[in-house]
Copies of this chain bind each other. A is one copy, B any other.
Amino acid sequence: MHKVKSAVVGASGYSGEELVALLSRHAHVELVAVTSRQAAGKSLGEVFPRMAGSASSGLKFTEPSVDALIASGAAAVFLALPHGLAAEFAAPLRKAGVQVIDLSADFRLKSAEVFAEFYGEKHPAPALLADSVYALPEICGDAALQGAGLLACPGCYPTSILVPLVPLLRRKLIAPDSIVINSLSGVSGAGRKADIPFLFAECNESLRAYGAPKHRHLSEIEQELSSAAGEKVTVNFTPHLVPVTRGMISTIVVQPVHGEDAKAVEKAWADDYRGRSFVRIVPHLPDSKHVTSTNYIDLAARDDARTGRLLLFSALDNLVKGAAGQAIQAFNISRNWDERTGLS
């Protein structure tokens, strides 16, 4: 099969590294450019010693530049950049007809006003919002992705929360105002950047909530939950930082509308996710170590008969299903390939 020339911008961060590692083994991809301001001039093998000896290890990092990306012949560009910066690449690349798979938050929200509220700055490219797809395949479905030019890939928190909740809100099984979410995230979620709070000696033997009560990703979480519910949904969401490198679990408490039980939850999941490769409904409470370095999201539900509420649990790898793996899954579908290509 003809290979699609692809590039990764911001390739030296953790999500970027994961993207590069996965794409370099992807059967239908030819990696033609990887960019990084810090790593420019060095090879993949030098910057990522894990990759030494692999077929792509000689590929050199270049300075990020729209012109150079276009010149590389890339038909698909993955953006692993901070929000705000991603749009600066996405706009001209789209104009040039290049497919953009964006891992930042720039094109996840439908409303530039909500972006401004949560991110504290004007949206950098509001005209593109209408054309972007919120690229969570299990939620948006394959049709929305096929042929899409701008994929706005959700990150780890939204994925871990939307996959368990959306089928329940769509069916009006749970009360939209009853949702309480607690998530635990590994430290790689903070990115490969030199910040004291993420030093080993600060994170090891440390457990801490942060970002409550209004984490930025709430904006997209509530956008998608509201869309599923057909009404405005507002949730409690508390993220926690815990000492693992990779992994995320979410524990969600909800009120069923008519006494629905865990079986009804599992049935809704099974119905909506029939045929999807990366959702597993598991008999035990999900453990992040069972999904590390995979694109799976594990789900479980339990009745809390004593309070009449339901407990929902999910686990994923924040760098795979919560970032690079999900982006590739969506990209696969956009190209009409098996969603598992390069991911198993």
The interface of chain A, by Cβ under 8 A from chain B, is 14, 46, 49-50, 52-53, 177, 180, 182, 184, 186-188, 190, 192-196, 198-210, 212-214, 218, 234-236, 238, 240, 242-249, 251, 253, 277, 280, 282-294, 296, 298, 302-307, 309, 311, 313, 315
Bound-state Cα–Cα, A195 to B207, Å: 22
Q: Is the CB of B311 within 8 A of A53?
A: no
Q: Is the CB of B210 within 8 A of A285?
A: yes
Bound-state Cα–Cα, A291 to B283, Å: 32
So how many copies of this chain end up in the complex? Answer: 4
Q: Is the CB of A206 within 8 A of B53?
A: no
Q: Is the CB of A214 within 8 A of B248?
A: no
Instruction: Report the minimal beta-carbon distance from A178 to chain B, rounded to whole angstroms.
Output: 9
Q: Is the CB of B199 within 8 A of A311?
A: no
Instruction: Report the minimal beta-carbon distance from A210 to chain B, rounded to whole angstroms.
Output: 6
Q: Is the CB of A50 within 8 A of B290?
A: yes
Knowing A182-B251, A304-B212, the reply to whether A246 touches B205 (Cβ < 8 A) is yes
Instruction: Report the minimal beta-carbon distance from A219 to chain B, rounded to whole angstroms.
Output: 11
Q: Is the CB of B184 within 8 A of A307?
A: no
Q: Is the CB of A253 within 8 A of B205?
A: no
- Residues of B contacting A188 in the complex (Cβ-Cβ under 8 angstroms): 201
Bound-state Cα–Cα, A192 to B292, Å: 19
- Residues of B contacting A199 in the complex (Cβ-Cβ under 8 angstroms): 187, 192, 194, 198-200
Instruction: Report the minimal beta-carbon distance from A47 to chain B, rounded to whole angstroms.
Output: 11
Bound-state Cα–Cα, A45 to B241, Å: 22
- Residues of B contacting A14 in the complex (Cβ-Cβ under 8 angstroms): 201
Bound-state Cα–Cα, A238 to B236, Å: 16
Q: Which residue of B lies closest to A51 (CB)?
A: B290
Q: Is the CB of B180 within 8 A of A200?
A: no
Instruction: Report the minimal beta-carbon distance from A23 to chain B, rounded to whole angstroms.
Output: 16
Contact of A184 among B196, B207, B298, B303 (CB under 8 A): B207
Known: A192-B201, A200-B245. 11 other contacts (CB 8 A): A46-B283, A49-B298, A50-B294, A184-B242, A187-B201, A192-B196, A204-B243, A205-B245, A205-B288, A210-B285, A213-B305
Q: Is the CB of A208 within 8 A of B253?
A: no
Instruction: Report the minimal beta-carbon distance from A286 to chain B, rounded to whole angstroms.
Output: 7
Instruction: Report the minimal beta-carbon distance from A341 to chain B, rounded to whole angstroms.
Output: 15
Q: Is the CB of B207 within 8 A of A288?
A: yes
Instruction: Report the minimal beta-carbon distance from A10 to chain B, rounded to whole angstroms.
Output: 15
Bound-state Cα–Cα, A150 to B286, Å: 40
Bound-state Cα–Cα, A243 to B291, Å: 16
Show 6 residue pairs from A and B whose CB-CB distance is below 8 angstroms, ordered by the A residue. Answer: A184-B242, A200-B204, A204-B244, A209-B285, A209-B286, A238-B311
- Residues of B contacting A306 in the complex (Cβ-Cβ under 8 angstroms): 213-214, 218, 234
Q: Is the CB of A213 within 8 A of B303?
A: yes
Q: Which residue of B lies closest to A285 (CB)?
A: B209
Q: Is the CB of A249 within 8 A of B208?
A: yes
- Residues of B contacting A206 in the complex (Cβ-Cβ under 8 angstroms): 244, 247, 287-289
